[in-house]
Amino acid sequence: MARTFLPMTADETGNEPLDIVLVSGDAYVDHPSWGVAAIGRWLEDHGYSVGIIAQPDWEDVEAFRALGRPRLFFGVTAGNMDSQVNRYTASRRLRSNDAYAPGGQFGLRPDRASIPYTARVRQAYKGVPVVLGGIEASLRRLVHLDFWQEKIRGSILLDAKADLLVHGMGEYPVLEIAKRLGDGAPIASCRDIAGIAYALGASEEIPDGIDPLELPSLEECRRDPLAFNEVTRAMYRESNPHCGRTLLQVHGARRVIANRPAVPLSTADMDRLHELPFAGDAHPCYREPIPALTSIRGSITVNRGCSGGCAFCALTIHQGKDVTSRSEASVMRELETLTQRSDFNGIVSDLGGPTANMFHMKCESEAANKVCRRVSCLHPVRCKHYGTDHKPYRQLLRKAREFEGVRRVYVNSGIRYDLASLDDGFVEELAEHHVQGQLSVAPEHASDTALEQMKKPSIDYFTAFMDRFTAANRKLGKEQFLVPYFQCAHPGVGPEETVELALYMKKHGLRPRQVQMFMPTPATLATAAWHSGVDPLTGKPVFVAKGGMERSRQRALLFYWKREEWPYVREALQRWGRADLIGSHDGALVPAGPAYHAMSAHLREKRGSVRYDTHTGKAPASRADSEMGMGLKIDRASKEEEEEMSWEGVVDQSREVRS
């Protein structure tokens, strides 16, 4: 009989030694969306005793001795998110909260958490093997750009001084490590496992039987951005678990070897994993709610992986391009369990995954899939072997909404709208039964140039989806809305593309609540382009908005209808030679008035005598009006931060939380 929760204290273990101790930068929530819980339950189901040390004080070695010395190994993860993304906004500001901490409390994990956690584990118990895992380790397994330092860093495996690094989804590799160590083999015997990266010492030879692809070294990547592009390109081209080659990269006197990715879980094993006895709640030691759990409570994951290959998204390189879907029967069994919970209100908040309508979509040619090196199944054109049948997902939705005890089933995960357009009734069924007032979709941009660089479909697909959704709701007599997410400052997005997007938004009456400012995160194609100014796949130069001023101008333009943004929009349009979009005519984006830089210079001259309204450039009528005007200016940065945080929260929960 499994415990209600995996143990977090010695009292919960009965002071018995554990086989494996997992250290995480997240609070412990016993839910399959939490990577550490999924790995812990998976190992437990295979006969191993597992405990969790969650969000330990990384400066106190005793915090890492809470569960004693494990018999086999320590597993270390920064959590469901890269710790830098968790801690900082795209403007490099510290965030105000942490969705994976009790009460949203900020500051319970360090920068690059995998490194200090491993150091303390080593200090606590010398000689115990340490295995890194999770998305932070996965995306930093080789040379990578650290945006927050603006520095090319080497493999986090060497910085952390761990024995092994598990990249990608870890169930199969971690289980194999446990089996071998449990049989008495040394940690070095695990170096041949798929999905593993390890370091060779200066005197160690490359193991027999492998012929690795040697990548540009750390030193070369630091000297030459195009060498860094070559590394990124190779990681993607060799990401197919069936044909990917082993990668080798020199780091000074040492070499890092990354084996081909592990094969994704089979449908049977996905079913097995998600039907393990998860408590579905936070560990009872917490006195405050975990915000990230609140956002997914009542949800059911039906697939993992994504075939889209968007340039800015880490899913392809972490979860993989092959989508693995659960069986319908397994999902329905979990739904039955969910309806029996005392806190279930009859509403399934989300029946989906990273891309919900990719449920049971896959390559229909086994032979082609075994040799495929495409980064995306859908870009630049959809592969002829890729199946796009929506019937399995529509049938699952239908059965779920008809299940006894279920009042509503919503889809809040990502929807790939270009695939949705291939099905005659999916959009209409979605509008009728599975939208809770608004449906979030991510067209990202409207410019063909920008979308090509993002590896996203043409805006025509989104426009067609929007028209179908609007028509369906009109027919149903429902007032439901699309909530589009757009990006600014992505590589390939310059003034012309930003203006094109703003005009598209105006034409279609789109006023998004959040806009994502591009954040270069480790291992993505877009990050390589941002660093080098060259597309790593095509070798073509791309425009890169690197300065804070240029990035802010792009962001301001996408909020052109907000009165408080008008001075910044005018300033951007004037600098970009598009003053024709300022005025009262139909084609204008903002009315005439002062631009930010001219106005701020004028205000500096007046400083000390009177406070001027920073949005109109006029003197306030009263002290109260003055404080209100200055308050708007002061709040600009905090508003921008909250918009970034809100958008990135959506991205994290729909794309990466299931990592």
Size (the chain), residues: 659
Residue 328 CA, distance from chain mean position: 26
Nearest to 255 by CA among 198, 304, 211: 198
Q: How far apart are CA 642 and CA 644, in angstroms?
A: 5
Cα of first residue to Cα of last residue in the chain, in angstroms, is 27
pLDDT at 547: 85
DSSP characters over 317-371:
HHT-SS-EE--HHHHHHHHHHHHTSTT--SEESEEE-TTGGGTT--BS-HHHHHH
Q: How far apart are CA 220 and CA 18, in angstroms?
A: 43
CATH of the domain at 95: 3.40.50.280
Q: How far apart are CA 617 and CA 594, in angstroms?
A: 7
pLDDT at 513: 80
Asked if residue 604 belongs to a domain, the reply is: yes
Q: Which residue has the tokens 């490359």?
A: 206
Q: What is the DSSP letter of 93?
A: P
Q: Which two tokens stand for residue 602?
A: 């004028």
Q: How far apart are CA 476 and CA 274, in angstroms?
A: 36
Asked if residue 367 belongs to a domain, the reply is: no
Whether this prediction's pTM lies above 0.75 is answered by yes
Asked if residue 625 belongs to a domain, the reply is: yes
pLDDT at 600: 53
Q: Given 215, 236, 258, which residue is the final one in a domain? A: 258
| Structural domain for 193, as ranges | 10-258
Chunked mean pLDDT (size 10), the chain, 659 residues:
79 93 98 96 98 97 97 97 94 93 95 97 97 97 96 97 96 98 97 97 89 97 98 96 96 96 97 96 95 92 95 92 96 95 93 94 95 95 96 97 96 92 95 94 96 96 96 96 94 97 96 90 97 96 92 95 95 96 95 77 48 42 30 33 38 33
Asked if residue 516 belongs to a domain, the reply is: yes
Strands (E), 14-148: 20-24, 50-54, 73-77, 130-133, 144-146
pLDDT at 66: 96
Asked if residue 611 belongs to a domain, the reply is: yes
Q: How far apart are CA 304 and CA 294, in angstroms?
A: 21
The answer for residues whose C-beta is within 8 angstroms of residue 107's C-beta and 6 or more apart is 98
pLDDT at 327: 98
pLDDT at 607: 52
Asked if residue 401 belongs to a domain, the reply is: no
On the 0-12 / 13-18 / 19+ scale of CB atoms within 10 A, 513 is exposed
CATH of the domain at 591: 3.30.750.200
Asked if residue 174 belongs to a domain, the reply is: yes
Residue type, 178: A
Instruction: Report phi then psi at 352, rounded to 5.
Output: -170, -150
Q: Given 237, 258, 279, which residue is the final one in a domain? A: 258
Q: Given 233, 258, 283, which residue is the final one in a domain? A: 258
Task: Specify the number of domains making up the chain.
Answer: 2
Any idea what the Cα angle at residue 109 is, between residues 104 and 115, rounded to 5°? 155
Q: How far apart are CA 96 and CA 306, in angstroms?
A: 31
pLDDT at 3: 52
Asked if residue 242 belongs to a domain, the reply is: yes
